[in-house]
Amino acid sequence: MGQISKFALIGRLIGMFGKFNRSSNRFLNTNSFYQVANIAVAIIMTDSFVFSLFEKISFGDAVWWAIVTTTTVGYGDFYPKTIVGKFAAAILMFLGIGLIGYLTSTITNYFTNDMEQKEKSQELEQISKIESLERKIDLLVNKIETLEGNNRKNK
């Protein structure tokens, strides 16, 4: 009995993962977010490399600094001292502001498109029901006309 419940749990987990995977793929493809995220990661890594070179800190610390700067958190544990470092920081600051705006736009479009799809689906369902009712009305009208015709013949 315990084995069956384990298999059922595994089946449910696989089903949930499939739903999550479809939703996340749909989200990542909204507004080409996946491509923008890849470009942002490339810029962050490049900026980290430049920052570590000119500010004489480890690459790991530079990546940390770049993420903190891009997300506009700015802890202040690392900060640029050279002109090149300050320029790299300015690039990441603008990138961070742009990414936050783009992420907000993507989330909005994701949910708006989802609602529009549901509305379209409901509209199509309503149209289908109306067309079905029109066919039934036509059949009823034909039956009534047939009955009226038969009624006239019998008189």
pLDDT beyond 70 at 1: no
**Can you give the pLDDT at residue 71?**
83
**Can you give the pLDDT at residue 21?**
67
Q: Report which of 9, 29, 38 is spatially closest to residue 113, judged by C-alpha positions.
A: 29
**Can you give the pLDDT at residue 18?**
66
**Can you give the pLDDT at residue 27?**
65
pLDDT, one tens digit per residue, over 112-123 is: 877 777 878 888
The whole-angstrom separation of Cα 58 and Cα 50 is 11
**Can you give the pLDDT at residue 84?**
92
The whole-angstrom separation of Cα 81 and Cα 52 is 12
Q: Identify the structural domains of the chain with CATH numbers, from first to last.
A: 2-154 (1.10.287.70)
**Reported pTM:** 0.54
pLDDT beyond 90 at 10: no
The whole-angstrom separation of Cα 11 and Cα 5 is 10
Tokens 């300050």 map to which residue? 86
Mean pLDDT of 122-146: 89
- In the chain, the N- to C-terminal Cα span, in Å, equals 76
Portion of the chain with pLDDT greater than 90, in percent = 22
The whole-angstrom separation of Cα 40 and Cα 90 is 14
**Can you give the pLDDT at residue 45?**
92
**Can you give the pLDDT at residue 59?**
95
Long-range contacts of 10-15 (CB under 8 A, 24+ apart): none
Mean pLDDT of 101-126: 83
User: To the nearest whole number, what is the mean pLDDT of the chain?
Assistant: 83
pLDDT beyond 60 at 74: yes
Mean pLDDT of 38-46: 89
CB count in 10 Å sphere of residue 17 = 10
pLDDT beyond 90 at 60: yes
Structure tokens at 63: 């990546």
